[in-house]
Amino acid sequence: MLKTSLNGPNLPDSFLFGVATAAYQIEGSADVDGRGPSIWDDFSHTDGKVVNNDTGDIACDHYRLWRSDLDLIKSLNVDAYRFSFSWSRVLPDGRGNVNEKGMAFYDRLIDGCLERGLQPFATLYHWDLPLALYETGGWTERGTAEAFANYAELMTSRFGDRLASITTFNEPWCSSILSYLYGVHAPGKKDLSLALKTVHNQHLGHGMAVQRIKSVNPALSTGIVLNLQSVYAGSDTQEDKQARGRHEIFHNGIFMEPLFQGNYPSEFIDVLGHELPQAWQEDLTIINQPLDFWGLNYYTPSRVINEASSNAKYPRTKEAPMDDTVTRTDIGWEVSADSFYDLLINIYDRYKLPACYITENGACYNNEPVNGEVEDTERLQYIKEHIEAVAKACENNIPVLGYFAWSLMDNFEWAEGYTMRFGLVHVDYETQQRTIKQSGHWYSQLAASHRKQTI
């Protein structure tokens, strides 16, 4: 087994280690105690949308097994647990009547974290929009942003005094571009106009929510989580280099610039500004809220080439062919810790940003137990290399506050169903037995070693 110490620079003394999950991926109990349906309930129950037609109806049964799951997290020696609220569990229709049984579940979960010495890092939106809101237009309508702000105020009022931090959105790129343009995630649309209206209305919802959170609890550490791409040109040709720039604008810039600079990239506006909601300019001051931190989720680099087809739409790029010698995870993603370091350096060079957490990082390897043990050396090596990249960035004055491994345990992996496993802990979905993997034991030792060194 690899040593627990890092090669090279040390992490800051105050650096946090944590694990992360999301409500729909682990909770199950989809129709229990008054929970309303979300777009992911509807999507996963639509034939052919998810591998094997898997659903989150049961998932990891965390709604019932939360106590033992928190004990499991505690046994990993981490400092913090990042989880998400299910909007439709607390507000079955997305607005209006509050479901007290749903609120009580999160009371128990948060208190359970605190009792075990775990800092609770909560996310308001990890893609599971209440179905009732989708049926009235969802994120393509401004009213959903207003409903989200009301939801944020409700949750802050109830739980804010016990949370270490609150995040508005997890990866809005996924719940807009991946969901409304590429059709891979719920609600499965392929419409550029709807996608860009969703981008803007989620930005607006974020800004409104931050205002509400701070009006209720100004001291609560508040941020947003983005899955930025580290983008490389697939060749040295001028066409591919220009394609790289367009790709970065479309997949990073239209998120970073409104949130942190109060504007959209000018090239994007010139080409696609007409697709944004009317009077979008008036929303920019609301969108551009000061944040206490931001979160970066990172897994793999993006390598692109120019899309020369005459009917290609902006950003007119496509994925570059990948050499067969490239190391990939079981989901097919390239492994490149150097690209992670590059992104951290480049993003802080380009933007004036608050400190960040690495809110998700991890790898898919589908190892199964053998004699009660899961040997996943490739995942262990992936995590080790990426934490070393973080340490190197910290040494170069990038303010990274902590690292959350994705994921605590194997779970419902969205459109991939239960076929892909990212967990530090293996889950047998038939028996719900949890087995800490080799990588989980290593991560536990690393977290304990770091804490011991800083005492």
Please provide the size of the chain in residues.
455
Contact predicate 32/63, CB 8 Å: yes
CA–CA distance, 168 with 224 (Å, rounded to integer): 5
Residues 6+ away with beta carbon under 8 Å from 227: 171, 173, 174, 296, 297, 298, 299, 360
Is residue 321 within 8 A of residue 238, CB to CB? The reply is: no
Q: Can you name the residues that pair with 435 across neighbouring β-strands?
A: 426
The two three-digit tokens of residue 328, written as one number: 């990939």
Closest Cα to residue 163, out of 235, 227, 114? 114
Q: Which residue, chain included where needed, has tokens 């390598």? A: 303
List, by residue number, the catalytic residues.
171, 360
Distance CA 28, CA 31 (A): 9
Q: Rounded to the nearest 10 degrees, what angle do helices 192-216 and 142-159 cross at?
A: 30
Q: Are 165 and 220 in contact (CB under 8 A)?
A: yes
Separate counts of helices (H) and strands (E) for the chain? 15, 13
**R_g over Cα of the chain:** 21
Buried (b) or exposed (e) across 120-152, using 16+ Cβ within 10 A?
A: bbbbbbbbbbbbbbbeeebbbbbebbebbbbbb
Tokens (6 digits) for 302: 């993006």
The continuous run of DSSP H or E covering 286 comes out as helix 284-287
- How far is CA 75 from its chain centroid? 24
